[in-house]
Chains A and B, each alone.
Chain A
Amino acid sequence: RKEVEQDPGPFNVPEGATVAFNCTYSNSASQSFFWYRQDCRKEPKLLMSVYSSGNEDGRFTAQLNRASQYISLLIRDSKLSDSATYLCAVNRDSGNTPLVFGKGTRLSVIA
């Protein structure tokens, strides 16, 4: 099983749609979970951290399921500007270990 796996997409959705991304990770000892956004040929930008209790930031909601080793990102009311690749990142082990990134899921929001 790969360390961090994501559905590669692409997801093509109309403006206003709700879209969900999933990510699984292999090491149950991982403690830190993030979603990053990456625009074409740009650096990853931190979108949000993911906590066990789930967290929301405007139209974005992230959830963590430790039992299933699964994290998710939900985008509501998607905008054209949400078009990007969404990367899941998980620290490789407990403590301050490097982040391991998934390959990303590409989202295209169309008018």
Chain B
Amino acid sequence: GAVVSQHPSRVICKSGTSVKIECRSLDFQATTMFWYRQFPKKSLMLMATSNEGSKATYEQGVEKDKFLINHASLTLSTLTVTSAHPEDSSFYICSAREATGGNQPQHFGDGTRLSIL
């Protein structure tokens, strides 16, 4: 089945550091990838839709300059949390849809646990 790899799985860093998270579709091409944030005991909140070769589409309330998204190829999207602060600590999950059209389900990575000290 379709596999999405997310790296790193866990990051602990100091306040003010920028952190990059990678999301790769391993065995399929994904024109669109999605970045979610999951708060404790809460559902997933869509942050942005990452489009290959174009700018990401951010959801309302998500800071574009804070969460930089780059989708440079059909198999890779990156999320960079710039100048991270403790309130950015969360579980970030990416997903990807196969570029075959129609109603394909999203396939999720294993998530990245970000902890800002």
B is a partner of A: no
Interface residues of A (CB under 8 A from B): none
Interface residues of B (CB under 8 A from A): none
